[in-house]
Chain A
Amino acid sequence: MKHVINALDFTVEEIDELIAIAEDIMMYPDKYSEVCKGKKLATCFYEPSTRTRLSFESAMLSLGGSVLGFSSGESSSAAKGESVADTIRMISCYADICAMRHPKEGAPFVAASYSSIPVINAGDGGHNHPTQTLTDLLTIKNLKGRFSHLTVGFCGDLKFGRTVHSLIDALVRYNDIKFIMISPKELEIPDYLRKEVLDARGTEYREVNILEDVMPELDLLYMTRVQQERFFNEEDYIRLKDSFILDNKKMSLAKEDMFILHPLPRVNEIAVEVDSDPRAVYFKQAKYGVYIRMALIMKLLEVVPC
C-alpha cells in the first residue's frame, strides 16, 4: 500500500505509468467501468472544495465504485475535537481508500501515518495538492506529447501559488525544460524555489514582468490569479493587475500550438473572450483531472481491468 502526499512521491517512471493508464481510460472508458466494483472511496474534506471532491467522486463512480464522506470540518467529528489520527483509523474500517482535504498543512501526512488504507492528499492548506499537479502533467503530456524541450511560462501569483511550485518541482526532473516566470515583483517565486529547486538542478529560467514580451516564446502558459490582498497597497495592484490579464490581443502574439492552463477558479486574469480560443484548455483540464484520479485510485487499490 502506498499513500500520495506529494506529487514528488512518484518517480518519473511511475508518473509515466499513471499517465499511460489515464490515457487508456480516456480511449476505452468502458474497459474500466467496473474495475472498482465493491470498493469504497471516503472523501474526507475538512474544508469545502467542491471541484476537487466532485472530481474524486466522479472518478470513483466511473470505476464502478461507491463513495462516502463529509464535505466540511463542521460536519465531521473534528468539530468534537477528534484528531486526524483517530478519524483515519475509523475511516479505515469503512472504506478502501481515502481522499483527504484539510486546511492544516501536513494533516494528510499524519493520516497516512496511522491509516491502514491508502490516503490521497486532496490539498492541505497552501502546502501540497498532488492530484492538481498530476492533472497538469496529464494535460501537458496529452496535448504536447512530451515533458521535455518545452518553454513553460508561469504568470500571476508565483509567490503563494502552490500549484505553480508543485508543477515546477515536477517538471524540473525532465530534460531541456525552460521556465519564464512572469509576475509583479511582489509576487515573484520564493527564494527556496530559486535556490533549492531551479539553481540546484541547473534549470534555465528567467523572471520578467511583462507578459507580452515573452508570449511568442512559450509552448505553455500556466495562468494564476493575482489577488488584490497580496499587494502592499492598492496603487501597486491597480498599476500591475492589467499586465497579468490574458486577452485576445496578447493571445495573438502566441504560437499556434501554445496552450493556456489554469488550475481554476479564474476571476478576471483570463478574459472571457479567450475561452473560445482552441488554445485555451483550462476547462479540458478539469476532465483530465477525473482521468488521472481514476488512474491513481486504480494504482493505489492495485486493481486492473479484466
Chain B
Amino acid sequence: MSKITNKFKDMTDTELLLTITIVVFFLMYIGAIIFQGKGFLKPQTFFNILNANAALIILSCGMSVVMITGGIDISVGGVTALVSMCAAVYLDFKGGNVAVSMLIAIGIGLAYGLVQGFLVAYLDIQPFIVSLAGMFFARGMTTIVNTNPFNVQNESFQALKNARIIVPGMGSVNKKGVYVNAYVEIGVIVAIVIVILMFCLLKWTKLGRNFYAVGGNKQSALMLGINVKKTKFMSHMICSLLAGIGGYVYFLHVGSGAATHAQGAEMNAIASSIIGGTMLTGGVGNIIGTFFGVLSLSTIQNIVSSAGLDQAWWTGITIAAMLCIFLVIQSVVMARKKRAIKK
C-alpha cells in the first residue's frame, strides 16, 4: 500500500488526472459492453465514435492549449461553421478546387488567431470576452456568406469525403453473412496526427513548457524570463489554427455548409478538455487526456441512446452529471495528494 501511495505522490498533477481519465474511459467502455453488449463489441462502433468526433478532437486539442495557458476560447464552434460555409460556397458556387478550399480554412483559422491573440495578449483583454465577440462575428459572417444550408456537389470533394481507410482485421459479418470491412474517415487520420503533434509540442518543446509555466503562475513565469505575452499569443494562434483545421474536418464529415453547424461545439470542447484533466485555472492538462475526454463524452452519449433514453435532453443531463463527477474526483484526488505530500 505504501508503495502505491509513494507512486501516487511522485506523479505530477497532470499525470494523475490523465490516469483518472483513461481509467474511467475504459471502465465505461467495458461497462457498455457488459450491459449493452451487441453493438459495443464491434470495433466499428468505436471507429464510428472516432468518425463522428474527429473534428471535436481537433477543436479540443486547441482548447486544451489555451486552457493550459490559463485562457479560454469559445469562438471555435463559430469558426467551424464559418469555415464549412466558406469552403462550401467556394467549392460549389465559385467552382473552386479542394486544395484551395483547405487553404481558405487554414487562412480563416490563422486570421482568427492573429486578431484574438493580439487582443488577448497585447491589449490584455479578457479571453472570454474576446472570443465571445469572435463567436458572434463568426456566426454572423456565416449567415452573410450564405443564408441557406446546402450540400456540396463538387465531385473531387465528394470523392475525398467518401474516401475510406480500411482498418485490417477489424471488420464484422453482417446479417446477410457478408463480411464488411471496418473503416475510418480521412478526418480521423488528421485528428490522430494532430493529437500526436500537439502532444510532442507540449511535452518536448520550449514553447510547450512555457504554456504550462504561464498558465501555472504568470508572475513566476515572468520572473523566469518567459515572454508571457508572446506565449499567450501563440496559444491563441494554435487554438484558432486548429479550429480552422477542425472546421474543415467537420465540413469533410457533414459535406454541407450551414449557419447552425457545430452549435455548442465550443462547449463540448471545453467539457472534453475538463474531463481529460485540463484545469480551467491553467497550468495543468494533457493532450492524451483531452483525446480520451472526447471519447468519454461521445461514448456516454452512445450509451444513453442505446439504453433507450431517447429524449434529447437525457444526453445533456448525463453530460452534466459526468462533468460534475469528474470535477469532484479531480478536486478530491488533488486534495488528498496535497495532504499526502505534506505528511
Q: Is the A/B pair a real complex?
A: no
